[in-house]
């Protein structure tokens, strides 16, 4: 079955026609690791996870790259302000490197609890400085770069279709925002930093030598450099939250297409916001809810995953404790229905619901419609075995642990922490360390199982 997706670039729904079908190259902007991610951020990652899982169900082979922003993301949308990593470092009295490590681990542990499949490639900005410098050099050779006293900037006037991802409202928003921005040396408000110089007389914790002097990369260049490194100069899908349209993604396109002269991503998918009190949930506003806050109030992270399924990804979703309670109840009922089928013999042949479920997903990932099909099936008079096989199939996308008893669902925090540390060791290819951690988990009475959904600890 094909997949139609709303492409923010063309502002229409289009058929996905992967460049190297059945493979689908997918780049998803990851977290800035100077603090915990809030549940708003996780709405975007859950949407991307559903995309990956739906692609698999529909017969594609997605290759998902996710970056970890651990340098260069400044406190203002423009190129002013402090590096968020240095802000985190000052706040916590730790090095910027330790802050990055700590919040990367916290992020991966949260993703695991939300049943978000690990990215095929997880890449840190600080591990790819050379690629970023090389890309800026490529742009420099083509005349896209000018220098100011504080860095190198991309000259947006040099790219005829600059800003094709954004609307006029976006541009007006940038113009009104620019009045408060200080950098008078920028030629245009849309110009953006590719490389920033370390301030004279002070030493940054994160800085590198470059052909232009000591400094650090601008925020956007990491995504262009790593996407091209792992997926090629043109690839299938690029995702992120809707806030990235006017600046981050617009500038990723400009740098990438400026350097290569080729289209960057064919599809741009954007997840809408999770709102709290009618405003975007955001770290900067202070009032943000972490995954651990949900757990403290007795919710499973998967209740929140279910909650994300109550709205289409391109619609805003309100976060209130009452509506989350509703999602918790719905998930419990669905789980009871699934567990009641546990003893049924597996029986294939429930084409009607399976087809309807896939059709809903193929229509721009209409998860609320797919959930309605699931509930229809549960309430139908289908034989138990057929219901069970359909729910098992739906679970490959929903990943709500419908067939798991509650006792199996909760992993003690210490075991979860060790699992995250082991994941990290494996990613660094430090297998002796990963093995030591596995033994420590073993001593706590849990066996590590590596599966499709990442590593899990199961009680012995």
DSSP state of 36: P
* Strand pairing category for 235-241 and 265-271: parallel
Angle at CA of residue 326, ends 322 and 329, nearest 5°: 135
Look up residue 454 and give its two tokens.
């990442």
Q: Can you tell me which residue has the tokens 């229409």?
A: 12
Among 43, 64, 220, 387, the residue binding ligand AMP under the rule CB under 6 A is: 43
Verify binding: residue 365, ligand AMP, rule CB under 6 A: no
Print the binding letters for residues 204-243 with ligand AMP: x by CB under 6 A, - otherwise.
Answer: ------------------------------------xx-x
Print the binding letters for residues 4-33 with ligand AMP: x by CB under 6 A, - otherwise.
Answer: -------------------------x-xx-
To the nearest whole angstrom, how small is the minimum distance from the Cβ of residue 8 to ligand AMP? 13
Of 72 and 271, the one with the shorter C-beta distance to ligand AMP is 271
Which of ligand AMP, Zn ion, none has residue 243 at its interface (CB below 5 to 8 Å by kind)? ligand AMP
Closest CA to 291 of 280, 307, 279, 309: 307
Print the binding letters for residues 242-271 with ligand AMP: x by CB under 6 A, - otherwise.
Answer: -xx--------------------------x
Which of ligand AMP, Zn ion, none has residue 377 at its interface (CB below 5 to 8 Å by kind)? none
DSSP state of 278: T
Among 223, 231, 289, 455, the residue binding Zn ion under the rule CB under 5 A is: 223
Handedness of CA 196, 201, 207, 210 (dihedral sign): positive
Total binding residues toward ligand AMP, as defined by CB under 6 A: 17
Which of Zn ion, ligand AMP, none has residue 223 at its interface (CB below 5 to 8 Å by kind)? Zn ion
CB 416 within 8 A of CB 456: no
- Which H or E run contains 84? helix 84-92
Look up residue 29 and give its two tokens.
């902007």
Q: Read out DSSP for 293-316? A: HHHHTT--HHHHHHHHTTS-TTS-
Verify binding: residue 29, Zn ion, rule CB under 5 A: yes
DSSP state of 359: H
List contacts with ligand AMP (CB under 6 A).
29, 31-32, 40-41, 43-44, 240-241, 243-244, 271, 273-274, 280-282
């Amino acid at each position: 079955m094909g997949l139609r997706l709303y492409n923010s670039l063309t502002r229409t729904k289009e058929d996905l026609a992967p460049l190297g079908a059945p493979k689908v190259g997918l780049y998803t902007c990851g977290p800035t690791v100077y603090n915990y991610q809030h549940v708003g951020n996780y709405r975007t990652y859950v949407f991307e996870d559903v995309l990956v899982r739906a692609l698999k169900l529909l017969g594609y082979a997605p290759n998902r790259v996710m970056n970890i922003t651990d340098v260069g993301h400044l406190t203002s949308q423009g190129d002013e302000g402090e590096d968020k990593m240095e802000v985190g470092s000052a706040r916590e009295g730790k090095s910027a490197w330790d802050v990055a490590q700590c919040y990367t681990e916290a992020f991966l542990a949260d993703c695991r609890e939300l049943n978000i499949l690990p990215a095929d490639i997880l890449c840190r900005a600080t591990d790819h400085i050379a690629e970023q410098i090389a890309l800026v050099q490529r742009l420099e050779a083509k005349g896209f770069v000018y220098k100011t006293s504080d860095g190198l900037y991309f000259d947006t006037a040099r790219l005829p279709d600059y800003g094709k991802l954004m609307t006029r409202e976006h541009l007006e928003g940038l113009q009104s925002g620019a009045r408060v921005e200080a950098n008078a040396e920028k030629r245009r408000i849309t110009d953006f930093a590719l490389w920033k110089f370390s301030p004279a007389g002070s030493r940054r914790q994160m800085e590198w030598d470059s052909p232009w002097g000591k400094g650090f990369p601008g925020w956007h260049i990491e995504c262009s450099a790593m996407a091209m490194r792992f997926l090629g100069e043109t690839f299938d899908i690029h995702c992120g939250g809707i806030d990235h349209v006017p600046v981050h993604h617009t500038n990723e396109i400009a740098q990438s297409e400026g350097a290569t002269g080729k289209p960057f991503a064919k599809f741009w998918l954007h997840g809408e916001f999770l709102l709290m009190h009618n405003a975007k949930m955001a770290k900067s506003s202070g009032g943000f809810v972490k995954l651990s806050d949900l757990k403290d109030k007795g919710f499973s992270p998967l209740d929140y995953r279910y909650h994300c399924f109550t709205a289409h990804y391109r619609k805003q979703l309100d976060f209130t404790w009452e509506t989350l309670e509703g999602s918790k109840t719905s998930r419990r009922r669905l789980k009871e229905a699934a567990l009641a089928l546990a003893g049924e013999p597996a029986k294939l042949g429930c084409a009607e619901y399976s087809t309807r479920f896939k059709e809903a997903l193929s229509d721009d990932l209409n998860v609320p419609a797919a959930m309605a099909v699931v509930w229809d099936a549960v309430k139908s008079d289908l034989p138990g075995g057929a219901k069970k096989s359909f729910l098992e199939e739906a679970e490959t996308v929903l990943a709500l642990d419908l067939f798991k008893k509650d006792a199996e669902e909760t992993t003690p925090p210490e075991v979860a922490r060790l699992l995250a540390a082991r994941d990290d060791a494996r990613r660094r290819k430090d297998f002796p360390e990963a093995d030591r951690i596995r033994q420590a988990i073993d001593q706590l009475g849990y066996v590590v199982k590596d599966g499709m959904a990442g590593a899990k600890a199961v009680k012995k």
